Amino acid sequence: MISNNASKMIVLIGLMGSGKTTVGRALAERLNFSFKDSDETVEKIAKTSVREIFENQGEEIFRKLESQALVDLCAENSPIVLAVAGGAIISQSNRDLLQKNARCIVWLDAPTPTLISRTGRGKHRPLLDGDPVGSLNKMRLDREPLYQQVATHHLVTKSLSIVEVVDQIISLCSLENSSSR
């Protein structure tokens, strides 16, 4: 259960290609919140790209940096929309942190073919290098229960435009009067 209702952090979770970054930017613009992306924060902390971290230091180090990024982002005082990279919810402590700090956590979902069509150019997604369909299907199986557990809302975006997804999040999370303007 979300304990901090006064928080102005809106969190988006979901598999790679679910639209967290695109929707997050549009939502942040609508609310006049800052937009943050956990992968970008990892890259700032590590001073290198997600792909290079995976290739040179390995996934374990990436996951540690990801947890550090979430701690830093949750300490922000200003209102933010936070796109949390797909694998961050694997960690129980990351899930606890997000639940403790977010006003709402929206799980963006779409069928695998839709995810595939959106992830084609993702340089920061080394886990999709070999067999993207197989990898995404396996991630879905492993992670769906965790998304389910942590999310306050579940939104299937397949046939929705970005504006429609933003509208739905605003309504689901009761954000109508939340603009920081």
Q: How far apart are CA 4 and CA 18, in angstroms?
A: 26
Strand order in the sheet with 80-83: 34-37, 80-83, 9-13, 104-109, 153-156
Nearer to ligand S3P, 138 or 180 (CB): 138
- Nearer to ligand S3P by C-beta: 16 or 146? 16
Binding residues for ligand S3P, rule: CB under 6 A, are: 16, 20, 39, 50, 85-87, 122, 124-127
First to last CA, the chain: 28
Nearer to ligand S3P, 32 or 158 (CB): 158
Spatial distance between the Cα atoms of 16 and 14, rounded to a whole number of angstroms = 7
- Which is closer to ligand S3P, CB of 4 or CB of 65? 65
Minimum distance from CB of 157 to ligand S3P (Å)? 14
Amino acid at site 150: V
Q: Are 17 and 120 in contact (CB under 8 A)?
A: no
